Chains A and B, each alone.
Chain A
Amino acid sequence: MQAVFHNRWLPFVLLLPTLVVLVLFLYYPIISTFELSFFRAAPNGIDLTFVGLANYQRLLDPQIQQTEAGTFVVRNAYVLVVGRSLLFSGAIVIGGLSASLGVAMLANQNLRGGRIYRTLLIWPYAISPAIIGVIFLFMFNPVVGVINYAWNGIFGTRPLWLGDPILTPLLIVIASIWKNLGYNVIFYLSGLQNINTDLLEAASIDGANAWVRFRRIIFPSLSPITFFLLITNLTYSFFDVFGTIDILSGPGPANSTSVLIYNLYRDLQINHNTGMAATQSVMLFVLVAGITVLQFRTTERRVTYNA
């Protein structure tokens, strides 16, 4: 269907409010960020010197050095930040989607009070990441927190959840998965309720067990939803984890929770290095856009619509 306008300018007038908002609050800042990434900024953020690609070079040069013991180490902290971010994202997306699908399958059963469970499951999504940080901070206080009270009762130890280079990032991943669980479960539940029960019944009659039914019917039917959630969770894992990290762990023990978005924030707001922060912004944009395009090219081929 095609709309017909009698005045050729009318459509542009109607579009104007949207365009103004987009240009002012989206395009202009994006272009400014790209521009700023080619400058070295004085600490007051105002005096700029054009440096070409020097900021990018500084971010990407791994600065490999040989130690006295003869091994090689990467001295560029940013390379480590990128690697850490990819690990975080992978864990949050894969862990988050698997957990959500499992929970959705359980909640989808015909149980007494099933609706109440489903409503309760959605709750964590309504809490802001910063509040989750605060709640976890109370729970995981090693001396007076409720987690270690229980842990100490069962195992007789008091792990330092917030001060260990392995436990702390793990905790951030778990908190992030838990926070987004409700969102993912809503989508999976609606997907599960739309699956054709005739197909499942037919499969059961043909002797397919639960695993085969899941593998051959349920999972493929959910593939459009899984693909959609893959993209939204990816964005979440790169950007929205900031609030949780900032409150729960900061840079973390040995920088173990310093991911791209957090590193960028510190360079801008604490280190007052606007040029480098803009460059990292561009890098983050390119990385997330790249992964998304890659997913559309590869994963989407396996998606079955209208199964």
Chain B
Amino acid sequence: MRKVHRSTFLLAVALIAVFSFASLTAAQDAVEIDFWHAMSGGNGEAVTALVADFNASQSAIVVNEQNKGNYDETLNAVIQASGQGEGPNMAQIFDLGTPLAIDSGFFVPVESVLSEEQLEALEADIVAPLVNYFTINDTLWSLPWNNSTPILYYNKDMYEAAGLDPEVPPATWQELEEHCAVIMETGAAPYCLSSQIYGWYFEQWLALQGQELANNGNGRADRATETNLTSPAAVAIMEFWQRINDAGYWTYTGRLHDNQGANQIFIAKQAAIILESTGALRTFTTGAAESGFELGTGFFPTNADVERQGPIIGGASLWVSAGNTDEENAAVAEFLVWLEAPEQMARWHQATGYMPDTLSSQELLESEGYFEENPNQRTAVDQLNAAAVNSATAGAIMGPFPQIRVIVEQSIQAVVSGGDITTVLEDAKLQADAAIADYNSRLQ
């Protein structure tokens, strides 16, 4: 017994020595890249698996991925660490963090670390509205990675019960209201529409009507100084929300941006339609199967009085640190190009539900028959590919965007609680413009 112990022990020591020597020599040759991201749960596992495969596929680069909490927490961690010179080589930053990332001075445009051929190939492959969003002042600042748009989900069984065509979801506000009238009259569902009060939807509806949210080309030609919260397009959105509220079609939990509460209402068959991100498709597919109803999807409905422009993309992109050596930048570029390659992008989409961001990955999925098996996945891709490319659909760049989104959400709540639309929007504009002025005044 004792002998066995000793020999096992010696074997272990020998193995440890060999392995640590091997890893030591590997670490000496390889460039180490620290990559901080905001993906946790299933999405976090998908990141870990991708990075492990990249590290195994070659020996020159070792990527160390690390989750730093949610989007806000990751952004704060990156900014604070970079200020101390301890930041990562690359980071995932969410859409609204874009102006802060640029203004912080801790990042370089991603196009500056890519070779000309790499940049050209990527810009041709990535879907145009995505390139549009992350290009500010003609500079591609970051590389889109995990992105989504909102779509409409509906309960086909309820449509049938109401005598509506279950294959035709409403494409406009006006059609939505017509369908709701029928659904409520026939008692097919207690409520017609479940939707959280979410500033993102308001922003989508401005873009879908071709209206910029901020001045100076949505803050992209020059720094934004003012919001367009009192524009006719904004008034139209508020009037729509007021109408569906007053008619009793729409319900929500009372808490702002409460996606889970809204989802529970839809999955529990208390509403026929819900507005949600494409990222929720898997939640609804599972939920519908468990509750026993057939799920349908359609484009995010918009104002029929104005020609449909297109949704704004949401989600996050990958940023490159300003503190990297040339060697590190080359390694980051190689990793980024690998992530955007069709196999990785298609796999990323299937694992997480985020958009397949590149045309090549969409073709790959198509050739594998994926969209035929998952028709609901196609809705989001079609909606994004159909989007017009202009400064309104590119989305706004404003320093205090997170703050302004909450101001907008509170305004919607004020309107559905009986507030006067003009007064509420004027007050919202006052607050939002003050927030922009404060942010701009604090830049050095």
Partner of A253 from the list B103, B105, B413 (CB cut-off 8 Å) is B413
Partner of A271 from the list B253, B254, B400 (CB cut-off 8 Å) is B400
- On chain A, the residues within 8 Å of B443 by CB distance are 42-43
Q: Is the CB of A250 closer than 8 A to any CB of chain B?
A: yes
Partner of B261 from the list A137, A250, A273 (CB cut-off 8 Å) is A137
> Chain B nearest CB: distance from A46 CB in Å?
4
Given A160-B254, A266-B403, output 16 extra A-B contacts at Cβ < 8 Å: A42-B442, A42-B443, A43-B103, A43-B439, A44-B79, A137-B255, A141-B261, A141-B265, A142-B254, A143-B268, A162-B253, A162-B258, A163-B413, A251-B256, A251-B406, A253-B410
Q: Is the CB of A280 closer than 8 A to any CB of chain B?
A: no
Q: Is the CB of A206 closer than 8 A to any CB of chain B?
A: no
Q: Which secondary structure dominates chain A's binding surface?
A: loop
Can you sample 20 A-B contacts with CB below 8 Å? A43-B100, A43-B104, A43-B439, A44-B79, A44-B100, A137-B260, A141-B265, A144-B268, A163-B255, A163-B413, A163-B417, A168-B254, A249-B255, A250-B255, A251-B406, A253-B254, A254-B414, A266-B403, A269-B72, A270-B406
Q: A43-B104, A44-B79, A251-B406 are in contact. Are A144 and B439 (CB under 8 A)?
A: no
> Chain B nearest CB: distance from A22 CB in Å?
23
Q: Is the CB of A248 closer than 8 A to any CB of chain B?
A: yes
B261 engages A43 (CB within 8 Å): no
Q: A43-B399, A44-B79, A141-B253 are in contact. Are A255 and B410 (CB under 8 A)?
A: yes
Q: A44-B79, A44-B83, A253-B410 are in contact. Are A142 and B438 (CB under 8 A)?
A: no
A168 to B255 Cα, complex, angstroms: 9
Which residue of the partner chain B has the closest CB to A75?
B430
- On chain A, the residues within 8 Å of B100 by CB distance are 43-44, 272
Q: How large is the interface on A (under 10, 10 to 19, 20 to 34, 35 or more residues)?
A: 20 to 34
A144 engages B438 (CB within 8 Å): no
A271 engages B403 (CB within 8 Å): yes
Which residue of the partner chain A has the closest CB to B80?
A45
Which of B182-235 touch A at CB < 8 Å? 190-191, 194
A250 to B407 Cα, complex, angstroms: 12
A143 engages B191 (CB within 8 Å): yes
A44 to B97 Cα, complex, angstroms: 11
> Chain B nearest CB: distance from A264 CB in Å?
14
- On chain A, the residues within 8 Å of B79 by CB distance are 44-45, 272
Q: A44-B103, A253-B417 are in contact. Are A162 and B255 (CB under 8 A)?
A: yes
Partner of B254 from the list A49, A164, A255 (CB cut-off 8 Å) is A164
Q: Is the CB of B252 closer than 8 A to any CB of chain A?
A: yes
- On chain B, the residues within 8 Å of A144 by CB distance are 264-265, 268, 270
